[in-house]
């Protein structure tokens, strides 16, 4: 899993300004300073980019909760943009596995600004395939 630190194993995330710096059993954390590539023509973060960031963070969290050889696949991702951050502001992203059963996992994530203000919230459902099943 250490190989995913930084851009999460996806160069696009690095180009969007995402930098994964910490994970543990069932969670992942990243710093995100949105780059111009993440923004719409008016300078705000494009709504679809939140989905990319959330899906990547929740994927990292799910994989950190699984045993070696187990796999997870996104079934759905939902995000709610609470308010637009200022361009160039360093944001914090955290994803947590709420529950990982035998065949399904439920995950939540959040993005906050430097003052702890909520920028966006996300949730997802994952299909799990256990190596021994």
Q: What is the per-residue pLDDT across 76-94, written as a single tens digit (0 to 9) for each?
A: 999 999 998 877 899 999 9
Number of neighbouring beta carbons within 10 Å of residue 98: 11
Q: What's residue 1's pLDDT?
A: 63
Q: What's residue 52's pLDDT?
A: 95
Q: What's residue 37's pLDDT?
A: 93
Q: What's residue 43's pLDDT?
A: 87
Q: What's residue 31's pLDDT?
A: 97
Q: What's residue 66's pLDDT?
A: 94
Strands (E), 1-133: 18-24, 27-32, 71-81, 91-100, 104-112, 118-129
DSSP reduced 3-state for 33: coil
Q: What's residue 118's pLDDT?
A: 97
* Residue ranges per structural domain of the chain: 2-129
Q: What's residue 84's pLDDT?
A: 84
Residue located via tokens 């300004």: 17
Query: What tokens appear for 77 in the block?
Result: 């991702």
| Domain 2-129 in CATH 3.10.129.10 | yes
Q: What's residue 133's pLDDT?
A: 65
Beta carbons of 4 and 22 less than 8 angstroms apart: no
Rounded to an integer, what distance in angstroms lies between the CA atom of residue 92 and that of residue 3? 20
Do β-strands 18-24 and 118-129 pair in parallel, antiparallel, or remain unpaired? unpaired
Residues in the chain with pLDDT values less than 70: 1, 133
């Amino acid at each position: 899993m250490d190989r995913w630190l930084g851009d999460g194993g996806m160069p696009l995330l690095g180009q969007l300004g995402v930098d994964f710096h910490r994970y543990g059993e069932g969670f992942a954390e990243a710093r995100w300073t949105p780059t111009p590539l993440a923004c719409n023509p008016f300078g705000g973060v494009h709504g679809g980019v939140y989905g990319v960031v959330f899906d990547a963070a929740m994927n990292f969290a799910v994989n950190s909760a699984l045993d070696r050889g187990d796999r997870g696949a996104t079934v759905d991702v939902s995000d709610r943009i609470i308010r637009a951050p200022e361009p160039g502001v360093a944001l914090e992203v955290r994803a947590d596995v709420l529950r990982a059963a035998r065949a399904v996992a439920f995950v939540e994530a959040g993005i906050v600004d430097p003052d702890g203000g909520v920028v966006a919230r996300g949730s997802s459902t994952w299909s799990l395939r256990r190596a021994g099943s």
